């Protein structure tokens, strides 16, 4: 087996450039709580239907929990009923990076933050959701921080 596990790939993007907001794993352990660290840095997955943003419908921007980079907007969020927050497109193509993930015996596409390299979730295509892209960015709530566009 030559497949590397996500999050152990090293501190560079697939194109060889570095993540500007990268930290050492020791620094991440200080900055993140254990559950955040397990998902963001060890490519874990939160239990379905437990995340705070799964059925969240506020208007605003979702940022990376680790580095605060803007990742997704609420107007691209849709109800997939899959148990995790789902978006049909990222905020911009350059807010995330996509990596082949062969863990668990499946070929999936992993989604990571383009600024810090942290694991966010996976993207699936062609599932038939009535969205403009027919893609589902399936993102762990624990990887996100929601910022309302209007302060209440």
Please tell me the number of Cα atoms within 13 Å of 118 on its side-chain side.
Answer: 33
Q: Which one, 43 or 66, has the nearer CB to Zn ion?
A: 66
**Residue 116 annotated as catalytic:** no
| In the complex, minimum distance from the CB of residue 146 to Zn ion, in angstroms, rounded to a whole number | 15
Cβ neighbours around 58 below 10 Å, total: 15
Q: Which one, 66 or 138, has the nearer CB to Zn ion?
A: 66
Contacts of 138 (CB under 8 A, 6+ apart): 80, 82, 84, 85, 86, 121, 122, 123, 124
Q: Catalytic one among 67, 113, 116, 138?
A: 138
Cβ neighbours around 105 below 10 Å, total: 5
Please give the Cα distance from 79 to 138 (Å, whole number). 11
Q: Which one, 119 or 136, has the nearer CB to Zn ion?
A: 119
Binding site for Zn ion (CB under 5 A): 64, 66-67, 69, 113, 115-116, 118
| In the complex, minimum distance from the CB of residue 57 to Zn ion, in angstroms, rounded to a whole number | 24
| In the complex, minimum distance from the CB of residue 78 to Zn ion, in angstroms, rounded to a whole number | 23
**What positions carry a catalytic annotation?**
138
């Amino acid at each position: 087996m030559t497949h590397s596990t996500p999050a152990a790939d090293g501190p560079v993007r697939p194109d060889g450039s570095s993540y500007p907001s990268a930290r050492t794993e020791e620094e991440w352990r200080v900055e993140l709580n254990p559950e955040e660290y397990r998902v963001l840095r060890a490519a874990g997955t939160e239990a379905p239907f437990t995340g705070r943003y799964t059925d969240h419908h506020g208007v605003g921007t979702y940022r990376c929990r680790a580095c605060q980079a803007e990742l997704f907007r609420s107007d691209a969020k849709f109800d997939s009923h899959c148990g995790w927050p789902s978006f049909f497109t990222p905020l911009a193509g350059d807010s995330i990076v996509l990596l082949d993930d062969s863990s668990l015996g499946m070929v999936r596409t992993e989604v990571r933050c383009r600024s810090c390299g942290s694991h966010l979730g996976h993207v699936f295509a062609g599932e038939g959701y009535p969205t403009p892209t027919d893609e589902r960015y399936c993102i762990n709530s624990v990887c996100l921080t929601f910022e309302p566009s209007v302060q209440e």
